[in-house]
Structure 1
Amino acid sequence: MKIKENSKTHIVGAGIAGMTAAINLSKFGKSVIIYEKNDSIGASRHGDLEGIENWILSKNLPESIAECGIDFNGIPKFPIFEFFVHLNGVKPVKIKSQEPFFYIVKRGTSSDSFDNYLAEICNSLNVKFLFNQSYDISKADINATGACRAAAYIRGAQIVTDLPNQVHLLLGKEFAPSGYAYLIINDGIGTMATAFKKSARANDPLNLCIQYFKTLGFDFKVNSTFANRGSFNLPNLWDIKNPIKIGEAGGYQDYLFGFGMRIAMHSGLSAAYKLSGKNFQSKIINRELNIKRRISFANRLLFENLSINNTKYLVNRFEKSKEPLNILREAYDWNWKKIIKSIKLTNQYAIRFS
């Protein structure tokens, strides 16, 4: 499907994926309108800190961001070269890398958020935003509306603290049933969150995370709490219905640890290529994204079935490695056994085809 010359391109959703699509469509000479149900850019977020990973896709992070038409150096961000892994009852382990594992960005409405950085690029390219407005999805060119069916639930807290900058990953059912939790602190503010599968347990995993860090002597104040959900879909190769679904609306997400921003951005780039008649470039990008999605699902299956001893073994392997980032990159390499396993076991998990 190619947009006719001089016609408007309609995108529903002003998130990371939608704005990336708009940026590239504008650079390809298209006139773009983005419809956003909220009253401003980033209004669906909570000022939380989030990571853009440096291991899932084949190209390194700066190169792949540039491929999306975005100046990597201009993004308000800070690199993470080390973090601590926590297992209940075990001393925290520090994992260090010579390359950044990921870059932390702020999400939300503030002027230094990643959302507003992308919006500024859109404005410079004359992309039109229509806030507090809906649009008939069936008539849109791109659906970038965000999470659909929930595959994971997120409970989080924004904190203020005098603690130095640091990142922590918490593993174990105490912190996040079939999931993970984390704490990110930067310049006196922080995000603590737990991403988990729905559980009948009475205890709130977020409160357990807060209590855990308090017992370690961490001094902080909870400023606000938030809740969200994550959506992940496996690709349906025979689905060619319009509009093009990108970002979480299309299931473009990492199912292992939820690092979805870079995948979402490239789904927006793929859509821009397709709507501009550049089908070959679109297919190349989508092929890699679909492979990585399936591998991330297989990785999730393996993660959920790890025993505590196997988890300890993997954490120790990361700790001892001189290049732990390469372990993560290898985990996302093509592997037929992983792909086949993900196909066979799809129906046992909260996953649907996009």
Structure 2
Amino acid sequence: MGDNSETVRIFSGIQPTGAKHFGNYSGGFRQYAATQEQGDAFFCVVDLHSITVEHDPHELREATLDLAAMLFATGVDPERSTVFVQSHVTAHAEAAWLLAAVTGFGELRRMTQFKDKSEAHEFVSAGLFTYPVLMAGDILLYQTDLVPIGDDQRQHLELTRDVAARFNARFGPTFKLPQGQYPKAGARIMDLQEPEKKMSTSTSSEMGKVLLVDPPDVIRKKVMSAVTDTGREVRRAQDKPGISNLVDIMAVATGEEPQQVEERYDGAGYGRFKSDVAEAVIGLLTPIRERYQHLRAESGELERLLAEGAGRARQTAEPTLAAMYDRMGFVRPSTRAAGAGLATGSRPL
């Protein structure tokens, strides 16, 4: 089948785990907001993926709503894009089971993220192993053309394309083969205290990460305390990881190219530069934080937006799921009302 519309279909899934930080904004949220300008965008809070490792049920509920609110707060427009929670659209779980029939055990065993995550957990679930199959279903259900995605998910997207091609070859043309859109330079934001490491919710210290909901005084303190070197030149270099990171942060906050930032602060010294970085980040994040807090306080409005998004997602995914069942040879439920035969005088068997 496949959607023959000329409109570009976009899909990206985001896990509701942990407080979101500036690195998440740089490599994720700002990309989502920009990508929605390119076509028909679907952004999914992938809560089913979150249960593949041990989790706290209360934290999952709160994190799901937190992430949905942050998507809207960072610029995803509910009038232009579809934002929904994965578990609200049962087609995702169904598609994952069907696609598992055309996914090789060896393919899944080669996934580097499974190897890394399984080493970090004492209990390794079957769900963690088949995680990429669920991700493939997420993407393929929507006849996706473009997937805004982190570079760490590149292998999973390649598997999605392989699984789609195998299904098409075995059962007939059904899926589009999606393309990835990966973050450009500057998307990888590093820890403020350990600039050789990526900024992380779980492994960065409180002073090493700027949270998207941090108030201005906290942002100032963190940026002004960022680790730098003993020099004065504001430029990116391998031996200046701290300053290189701050240049990238400034570029993200202002929309400039890193080279423009370097030119603007040529000879300025670190003190003024750090202060300006802090103010630029505050200027960017303050309206985001305020919008986020409003949405979390108005839970009815947030739930309404998610319900509308789930409705649109179900309507879009249903034709693909129906085609999958049909082409794989399943007998589908009759659309006739139950007992219609009895109404005409037929006797049950």
Which TM-score band (shorter chain)? under 0.3
- Give the number of the structure whose alpha-carbon radius of gyration is greater: 2
Counting helix residues as a fraction of each chain, which structure ranks higher?
2
Counting strand residues as a fraction of each chain, which structure ranks higher?
1
After TM superposition, the score normalised by the length of structure 1 is: 0.27
After TM superposition, the score normalised by the length of structure 2 is: 0.27
